[in-house]
Amino acid sequence: MAQCLFCRIAAGEIPAQKVYEDDAVLAFRDINPQAPVHILVIPKAHVESAACITPENSHLVARCFQVIAQLGSQLEGGFRVVSNCGPNAGQTVPHLHFHLLGGAQLAVQMA
């Protein structure tokens, strides 16, 4: 999608602090971090949200989680993965993405 912020980042049109990239997935540092380590992991192909995962695109989610496992294994003490789905859940960019959070003791309550 030409106007999608994350599609434009994946296409290299908008700069990002990349921490991982392959043909299907991009991981980059969040510009408004909520933890000492806050990385966004996205499929390069546009999928609007977790509500739009289908049998045809679910391999992208699996690949994202392989990357999350790889990056998360470098974080001592564990990590959290969050995906907001829809505006009421806090999704501000309509492109499937996973927040990888870590680097400190995270709050138990997430509300």
Contacts of 86 (CB under 8 A, 6+ apart): 49, 51
The single residue of 46, 59, 97, 99 carrying the catalytic annotation is 97
Q: 50 with 108: CB under 8 angstroms?
A: no
Which residue has 């949200």 as its token pair?
49
97 is catalytic: yes
Show which residues are catalytic.
97
